[in-house]
């Protein structure tokens, strides 16, 4: 089973890289969904022996949410917004991928540096960190509002995997509450994107920088 889990880890890392280079918005949404589903399945593979019913139930909820509900919500937001179909990165794709690889190297280093307990699955901590970095990469170097939501989801995926790595047993109620939060967050963000697209011409966040205290050119005289 662990080999299988390690394969999944590799898959997740590859998905990170793919996210860094994909230009099409809809592919991005799909990639994030796939990553969510894969991450959701991970606990079933990583544990020793047959998974608990609880874990099964949980995995089912996650897969439904991340695999079906979120992509649907985001796709709808994308369609309504009538935005252009690519992610409009602020830096070039090669730069993105370089940053992503750099993040992966940094994650490996940090993974070894962080004072973590031994894990059973190799690479799981670096992978989770790399995923979190990729999420940040999406948020900070892409200009559209939707990609920022995607980034948030990728970070969430990374944290989820990280949690698995640490074997922290969250009580059911907490787990559910967290999931609910994430769900509502995406929902609210979706609504916000809808409003943004209505108020502004498109969902480029460059438009969303009117609130600023920058006194450009008012100093040094």
Partner 1 sequence: MALVLLSFVILLLSAFLALCLARNPRRAQDAGAYGAVAASLAGLIPSVKVLFSGVSETLALPWPVPLGSFTLVLDPLSAFFLVPVFILTGLSAVYGVDYLAHYTGKKPLGLAWAAFNVLTASMALVFTAGNAVLFMLGWELMAASSFLLVLFEHEKAQARRAAFIYITAGGAGALLLLAAFSLLGAGSPVMDFSSFVFPAGRAASAVFLLALCGFGLKAGFIPLHVWLPEAHPAAPSHVSAVMSGIMIKTGVYGIIRTLSLAGPCPEWWGWTLLLLGAASCLLGALFALAQHELKRVLAYSSIENVGIILLALGLGVIGAANRAYPLAALAFAGALLHVFNHSLFKGLLFMGAGSVLQGAGTAELEALGGLSKRMPGTAMLFLAGAAAACALPPFNGFAGEFLVYLGAFRSVSSTGSIALAGVIAGLSLACAGALAAAAFSRAGGAAFLGEPRTERAAKARECGPLMLFSMRALAALCLLAGLFSPFLLLPLARAVGSGFGPAAGLEAAEAAAVPLIYVSAGGLLLLALIALAWAKRRAFLGGRKPAEGVTWDCGYAAPTPRMQYGASSFSQPLTDFFQPVLRKLGQYPVISEYFPGKASFSTEAQAVFYNSFYYPAAARLRDLAYRFSWIQHGRLQIYIMYIVVTLMGLLLWKL
Partner 2 sequence: MITLMMTLPLAAGVTAFIIRNDKARRALLQWTARLHFLLTALTVWMHVRYGMGLNLFSGYFGGLSPRDHAPAWFAYDALGLFFIGITSLLFLGAAHYAVAYLAAEKRDPGEDADAGFIFNNAPETVFTGCLLLFLAAMTAVTASRNMGLLWALVEATTLLSAPLIYFHRHKRSLEATWKYLLICSVGIALALMGNLFLGAAGLKTGAGLDLPALFYNAAALDKPLLKAAFLFLFVGYGTKMGLSPFHTWLPDAHSEAPAVVSALLSGALLNCAFLGILRANAVCAEAGLADFTGGILMLFGFLSILTAALFMLGQRDYKRLLAYSSIEHMGILALGAGLGGGAAFGAMLGALSHSLTKAGLFFTSGVVLASEKTKRIADVRGLWRRAPATAVLWLAGFFLITGMPPSGIFLAKFLVLKEAIRLGHYWLAGGYLFFLAVLFAGMAKVFIAMTFGEREAKAGEKPFEEPRGMLVPAAVFFVIVVSLGLYLPGWLNMLLESAAAGLGGAAGAGL
Place of tokens 């089912």: 60
Site of tokens 């590859």: 14
Q: How many positions of this chain bind partner 1 (CB under 8 A)?
A: 26
**Phi/psi at 140 (5° precision):** -85, -20
Q: Which of 114, 174, 176, 177 binds partner 1 (CB under 8 A)?
A: 114
Choose one: 39-47, 55-63, 92-100, 200-208; the region binding partner 2 (CB under 8 A): 200-208
Work out whether the CA dihedral 145, 151, 157, 159 comes out positive or negative.
negative
Q: Which of 76, 94, 195, 206 binds partner 2 (CB under 8 A)?
A: 195
Pick out residues in 202-221 that bind partner 2 (CB under 8 A). 205, 208-211, 213, 215, 218
Q: Looking at 22-30, 106-114, 172-180, 188-196, which segment touches partner 1 (CB under 8 A)?
A: 106-114
Nearest to 122 by CA among 13, 37, 33: 13
Name 87's Cβ contacts closer than 8 Å, sequence gap at least 6.
Answer: 22, 23, 24, 25, 28, 142, 143, 144, 147
> Smallest distance, Å, CB 138 to partner 1?
10
Q: Residue 11 touches which of partner 2, partner 1, none (CB < 5 to 8 A by kind)?
A: none
Binding site for partner 1 (CB under 8 A): 90, 110, 113-115, 136, 139-141, 143, 148, 205-206, 208-216, 218-221
């Amino acid at each position: 089973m662990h080999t299988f889990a390690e394969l999944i880890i590799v898959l997740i890392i590859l998905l990170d890289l793919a996210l860094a280079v994909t230009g099409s918005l809809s592919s991005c949404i799909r990639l994030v969904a796939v990553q969510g589903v894969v991450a959701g399945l991970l606990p079933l593979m990583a544990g020793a022996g047959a998974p608990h019913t609880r874990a099964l139930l949980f995995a089912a909820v996650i897969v439904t949410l991340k695999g079906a509900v979120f992509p649907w919500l985001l796709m709808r937001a994308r369609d309504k917004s009538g935005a252009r179909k690519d992610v409009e990165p602020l830096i070039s794709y090669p730069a993105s991928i370089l940053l992503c690889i750099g993040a992966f190297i940094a994650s490996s280093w940090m993974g070894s540096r962080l004072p973590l307990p031994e894990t059973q699955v190799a690479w799981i901590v670096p992978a989770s960190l790399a995923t979190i970095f990729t999420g940040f990469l999406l948020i900070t170097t892409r200009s559209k509002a939707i990609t920022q939501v995607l980034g948030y989801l990728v970070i969430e995926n990374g944290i989820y995997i990280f949690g698995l790595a640490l074997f922290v047993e969250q009580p059911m109620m907490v787990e559910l509450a967290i999931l609910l939060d994430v769900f509502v967050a995406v929902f609210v963000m979706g609504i916000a994107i809808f409003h943004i697209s209505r108020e502004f011409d498109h969902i480029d966040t460059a438009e969303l920088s009117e609130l600023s205290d920058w006194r450009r050119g008012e100093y040094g005289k």
